[in-house]
Structure 1
Amino acid sequence: MKAYEIIGGTDIDSIAIVDRPVPAPGPVEVAIDVKACSLNYRDILVISGTYAVGDKVTGVVPLSDGAGVVSAVGAGVTRFKVGDRVAAAFMPNWLDGPLTAELQAGSLGGAVDGMLAEQVVLPASGVVHIPDHLSFEEASTLPCAGVTAWYAQFVGADIGPGDTVLLLGTGGVSIFALQFAKLAGARVIITSSDDAKLERARALGADHVINYQSNPEWQHEVLALTDGRGVDHAVEVGGPGTLNKTLEAVRFGGSISLMGVLTGLADAVATGLILHKNIKIQGTYVGSVAMFEAMNRAIALHKMKPVVDRVFPFEEAVDALRLLKAGGHLGKIVVSLE
């Protein structure tokens, strides 16, 4: 079978297609014919060697997110049968409960083989059925960005009707968060440097849009839009370069789900604002299999469609990574194996 492997180096070209043996499932595993994979910013960091995954990743199959069809099951597997449409959880061993270092170490596409291959074998407990109305390309976007947005708003926070949510940018997590917030009846304020993307976000249900390039002190506009009160919750994907402005934009007693490092890993943080405004900051590292299944039930109920910006063929995975790095997309970028 064909698979990509990380071949070393310090840029996103550091992957290559190789031949690997077709994997066979063990007693509690399933084999999956992968039909589509989606990209996350973490993939760029892993491939370029700038993401701390613990072990050297040369020779590892990249990408955490993928969906496909069960092609074989182990003797002890009862939850799945050949032909089932499934997706892999980002951390297949995190079934429920709190996250631990051991569970995080099993994240796909880091120190452990990921999904950018024609076939994969995974523990059956770390695989979920995908909603019937979704294509494989759409379903492949769920494991990281979808579950992260779900965790951010319904586990790390408790978003409900009438709440106001601030979203930064129009990447995968932010667009999922927009869709979930509207399902919950919340009001959404979203930022971007691109007016065309902001109009697309408005069409998806955003109530207010802010261009942070033409309005660099965007936190003041957020406060104006909320009559000086601030938002109830913010989904913070930028990291240190945006966090202080987000702290200004959040109300007293509000909350922030922090999961992004798009502006770097370290900078001065306005800890005084966190203390003074009694703000809760929740680190958000994807989510468990149980969260994935809960999210899928909501997606199936509302027939929600993930936003796929562009689909690349398997042979053009590097081009897909280049587009992701350039930031010229809205929603998710997908690699198709069909």
Structure 2
Amino acid sequence: MREKMKAWQLAEWGKENLQVAERDVPRPGPNDVLVHVRAVSLNYRDKPALEGSVLLNETPLPYTPCSDMAGEVVEVGSDVQRWTTGDRVSANFYTRWVDGSATADLFGLSLDLPGTLAEYVLVPETAIVRAPDALSMEEIATLPVAAVTAWSALVTEGRLRAGQSVLLHGTGGVSLFGIQFARMFGARAIITSRSAEKLERAKLLGANDVIETSEYPNWAGRVMEITKGRGVDHIFETIGGENYKKSLDAAAIGARITTVGFLESSEFTLPIVPMIIRRIVIQGLSVGHRRSFEDMIAAIEINGLKPVIDRVYDWKDVPAAFDHLDRGAFGKIVVSVNP
């Protein structure tokens, strides 16, 4: 086993301070697993994280970004029962959340897992899941945050069923997984975007209806036309601000609006009366527990789902990958860990 490894890190907050450093390869404790990382995917949460704005104040520097990864187990602790060397795995975002309802001690758990933009990562044996055999390392790396978020919102919490409808905003990883899961369950997928080209690609992926928001600024009205006045059952609210009011306007009676992001604004104001009369459920959601991840993997394998990757970047091009994230992507941005 090697003694040294390479990792991207920030010695000071700010994307311009990203640099490659050499570190000692960590050694497993009794219940730990050492994973040789093969691929890492980026998430929108990684953008403010680079500036230190979403991390706990006591988070020490240097800081290694990212939480999504895929790799192989190369060493296990003396008491590890679930894994052996050579297993292909990915890591759950919340390292101690195995199942059940969220509790107060779960907040900030992503910090339990060292940043994954490194050659090796040490994780608790309970925090990793078996990777789907049919997916590449790059595809597996897209799953922990975006896919589990979409699955948790629609299936674990939303109890999605055939004949329902799903509204998704934009064409990032969460939205595209949302399309794929909606189609998997026989639900109608409606997606909004400012890009006509991306909407055409979304239709090829399985979106039933697309709405170009530059053509339909009042896109909620267009949703009601498409659904013949009924509205939609599940809404992924990823934008916030004024967009949230439109999401409410597009909601069916008993609809669930799941808040998973705030690309436009972290603040919103809603009228209370329509929420009461139409019995709207508004839920905040951050990824999910390990059982959701494992259930999702089983469904992915049964249905042959393939994650959508916009581009795979080489290890040396990590800054360019984050620049791509700033511009926006169709699906996921992945880094191949090949120093």
For normalisation by structure 1, the TM-score amounts to 0.95
Equivalence for 1:299: 300
Deviation of 1:78 after TM superposition, in Å, equals 1.6
Matched, 1:2 2:3: no
Equivalents in 1 of 2:317, 2:56: separation in Å? 25
Contact 1:7 1:14 in 2 (8 A): yes
Partner of 2:145: 144
> Which amino acid is 1:4 matched to?
W
Contact kept in structure 1, 2:141 and 2:334, CA below 8 Å: yes
Distance 2:30 2:114 in 1: 19
Letter in 2 for 1:3: A
Task: Report the equivalent of 2:279.
Answer: 278
Q: Which one of 2, 12, 22 corresponds to residue 19 of structure 1?
A: 22
| CA deviation after TM superposition for structure 1 residue 55, in Å | 2.8
Shift, 1:54, TM fit: 4.5
With over 3 angstroms needed to count, the CA separation of the structure-2 counterparts of 1:231 and 1:57, relative to structure 1, is: farther
Of 255-264 and 303-312, more deviation after overlay is shown by: 255-264
Partner of 1:253: 254
2:270 counterpart of 1:269: yes
Residue 105 of structure 2 is matched in structure 1 by 102
Shift of 1:234: 0.8
- The answer to whether residue 312 in structure 2 is matched with residue 308 in structure 1 is no
Structure 2 CA distance, aligned partners of 1:53 and 1:269? Answer: 30
Alignment of 1:25-174 (within 5 A): 25-108=28-111, 113-174=114-175
CA separation in 2, counterparts of 1:14 and 1:149?
Answer: 32
Structure 2 counterpart of 1:258, which letter?
Answer: T
CA distance in 1, matches of 2:261, 2:274: 20
Conserved in 1, the CA contact under 8 Å of 2:232 and 2:252? yes
Amino acid at match of 2:118: A
Aligned residue for 2:244?
243
For the residue of structure 2 that corresponds to 1:144, the secondary structure is helix
Distance 2:182 2:25 in 1: 41
Q: Distance in 1 between matches of 2:67 and 2:78?
A: 26
Query: 3-state DSSP class of the match of 1:244?
Result: helix
Name the aligned partner's letter for residue 8 of structure 1: E
Deviation of residue 267 (structure 1)?
Answer: 3.1
Q: How far apart are the structure 1 equivalents of 2:17 and 2:220?
A: 38
The 3-state SS of whatever aligns with 1:107 is helix
SS in 2 for 1:41: coil
3-state SS in 1 of match to 2:180: helix
Letter paired with 2:293: F
Quick check: 1:208 aligned with 2:209?
A: yes
Unaligned runs of 5+ in 2: none
* Cα distance change, pair 100–55 in 1 and its aligned pair in 2 (3 A): farther
Report the CA distance between 1:194 and its aligned residue: 0.6
Q: How far is 1:258 from its partner?
A: 1.0
CA contact 1:5–1:59 (8 Å) conserved in 2? yes
Deviation string for 1:69-123 (max 9, x for gaps)?
1010111112111111000111111111122232222214xx7522110001000
Distance 2:15 2:102 in 1: 29
CA distance in 2 between counterparts of 1:56 and 1:213 reads: 41
Q: What is the identity percentage for the equivalent residue pairs of Structure 1 and Structure 2?
A: 42
Letter in 2 for 1:34: V
Shift in Å at residue 260 of structure 1? 0.8
Contact 1:67–1:85 at 8 Å: present in 2 too? Answer: yes
Q: Which runs of 5+ in 1 are unaligned?
A: none
Q: Are the equivalent residues in 2 in contact too, given 1:62–1:114 (CA < 8 A)?
A: yes
What corresponds to 2:232 in structure 1? Answer: 231
For 1:333 and 1:241, the matched residues in 2 are separated by 28
Distance in 2 separating the partners of 1:40 and 1:98: 24
Tell me the distance in 2 between the aligned counterparts of 1:13 and 1:188: 38
CA distance in 2, matches of 1:78, 1:161: 39
Distance, in Å, in 2 between the alignment partners of 1:53 and 1:42 is 14
CA deviations over 1:277-328 (Å, ceiling 9, x no partner) = 210012111000111101000001111110011000111111111111111x
Amino acid at match of 1:290: R
Mark the CA change 1:291 to 1:54 in structure 2 (over 3 Å): closer, same or farther: farther
| Paired position in structure 1 for 2:186 | 185
SS of the residue corresponding to residue 24 of structure 2 reads: coil
- Aligned counterparts of 1:186 and 1:88: Cα–Cα separation in 2: 29
Partner amino acid for 1:165? V
